Structure 1
Amino acid sequence: MPSDLPRHHKPIKFAPAKIQNRVGGEDPAVLSQAAHESAQAILGRGRANTDPAVTARLVEFTDHYGLEAIAEMWSHSAGVSLPGSLWRMYALRDTIRKNPERISYFYGLGMESDQVSRIVAGVADPPTESEIIATVNAILTGAYTGEFDIALERFAAFCRVVALGQDAVAHSVQFGQLETSVQHPKNEPSAEVRREGARRAHELRAGAQRLTTIAQELEASAEKWREGTLD
């Protein structure tokens, strides 16, 4: 990466819910071409590299320059595309790194409901905050040093498990329980608490659905990569 890239001292914090297409003022065809060419160049050079320090800088790029630095390149791309896939992996890593306690909590709740995804994601048990961060770093590292389709599928599996955990919390908060007390029901909540619970449950379910959609896109991208048609 060029050393003269601007440093973003206050990076924009994108959550998975905000991984959406962005509308810009430039020609969409030009933006699309630039996104695809930059994704191909960065992934190609990263995978050709044999220096672990360079790979580490690629994985940690948004830690230093902010997520906005790559959002400007890739966030408008289709989900099933090379730039779209890279954007989703970096954005997910950024969200997980900034919210490890919450994400590990969701993951812990969801992992028993989908053993296959749990195994594919490869998070150690128990899924502590440090294990969650170590796993997503290892997955993104693997995109440059291993099989790219496997990295996509591991991120997809991770998303599926977290989505299941969010659904479990949504079911509980809808009836007035605290998000951190899913397994410990309280006394009958007031009407006001139930209304707030219903609102929060709706948000959680919407977030879970978005994560499931991202998982589907990453899995489709993995299949196209194996076919040699992901661009």
Structure 2
Amino acid sequence: MSTDGTAGTGGTSGGSGGGTGGGRRHHRPIVVDPALADELPGPLDPALRDEIAHTTAAALVRHGRATQDPQVVERLVALVETEGLDVVAAMWSDCPADTLPGALWRLYVLREWVRRDPGTVADRYRQGVAAAPVHDAVAGVVDQPGPQDVRTVADAVLSGVYTGDLAVALERAAAFCQVLATGAAFDADHLDVVDPAAAHRQTRGAASLVRTAEELAHAAQLWRADRLE
């Protein structure tokens, strides 16, 4: 799934275990070493790239779950804003969904989409919620959510990776995606007559969200079985 919610992430085990507000002092990035980041986009050996992906993901989760500082968790949640989506993608985007870095990548992409287009996400959620009440209950979104509400949920899901049960965070994200997929499908039906091309894009987006939901739910099962690495 891309940040517009229309394209799927590539590929498919519990493992180890933000940007600051306007008035706060700036913090040095806490996870990605700049020299390492410079090397990642290049033609690294696939085995080395895989090792870096798993090592950074495990370190990130371990660091977040070991801290009692809410500002650290906030900075971890806002990793994409501080490091850039390209850096995070270079680390994790090629990882299968049934790995810790692959699962984290999907969570961060989901949050980035919500952050960039909260109005669309909120609208899709409102359209899908009536047809997916069970998933809505798991996702934990308020009734008739607005843009800020879906942003809050996306942040809460990622915070849960570092402060709660990671499997629950993955399941909340999966449920969130399922409701959005239902909303996107309804939107496609409405567009089918007036704009078939847009309806086709929405249908593909809905399928992508369903696939992402299934991947996140499976990752949650793996985490509970101590097999998400």
TM-score, L = length of structure 1: 0.82
Deviation per residue, 1:136-166 (Å, 9 max, x gap) = 1111111100000000000000000001000
Determine which of 192, 208, 211 is the counterpart of 2:209: 211
1:222 match: 220
Deviation per residue, 1:177-215 (Å, 9 max, x gap) = xxxxxxxxxxxxxxxxxxxx1111111000110110000
1:66 aligns with 2:84: yes
Q: d(CA) in 1 for partners of 2:184 and 2:42?
A: 32
Q: Counterparts of 1:74-85 in structure 2 under 5 Å?
A: 74-85=92-103
Gaps of 5+ in 1: 1-12, 177-196
Q: d(CA) in 1 for partners of 2:130 and 2:8?
A: 27
- Equivalent residues, number: 199
CA contact (8 A) 1:173 1:201 kept: yes
1:93 aligns with 2:111: yes
Q: Alignment partner of 2:220: what SS?
A: helix
1:142 aligns with 2:166: no
2:27 match: none
Which of structures 1 and 2 has the larger relative contact order (alpha carbons within 8 angstroms, sep 6+)?
2
CA contact (8 A) 1:163 1:209 kept: yes
1:48 match: 66
Higher Cα Rg: structure 1 or 2?
1
For residue 9 of structure 2, what is the amino acid of its counterpart?
A: Q
**Deviation for aligned residue 1:24:** 6.8
Taking only the aligned residue pairs, the percentage that are identical comes to: 37
**Deviation for aligned residue 1:18:** 4.2
CA contact (8 A) 1:19 1:75 kept: no
For residue 48 of structure 2, what is the amino acid of its counterpart?
A: V
Once the two structures are overlaid, the 10-residue window that deviates more, 142-151 or 63-72, is 63-72
Q: d(CA) in 1 for partners of 2:100 and 2:6?
A: 20
Determine which of 40, 43, 47 is the counterpart of 1:29: 47
CA contact (8 A) 2:57 2:101 kept: yes
1:180 match: none
1:155 aligns with 2:144: no
Deviation per residue, 1:16-56 (Å, 9 max, x gap) = 43453499732222211110111011111111111101111
Q: d(CA) in 2 for partners of 1:79 and 1:16?
A: 17
2:151 match: 133
Alignment RMSD (CA, Å):
1.6
Gap change, CA 1:95 and 1:67, over 3 Å in 2: same
Q: d(CA) in 2 for partners of 1:28 and 1:95?
A: 28
Q: d(CA) in 2 for partners of 1:149 and 1:96?
A: 21
1:115 match: 133
Q: d(CA) in 2 for partners of 1:54 and 1:17?
A: 31
Q: d(CA) in 2 for partners of 1:16 and 1:66?
A: 18
Q: d(CA) in 1 for partners of 2:65 and 2:101?
A: 15
1:17 aligns with 2:3: no
Q: Alignment partner of 2:97: what SS?
A: coil
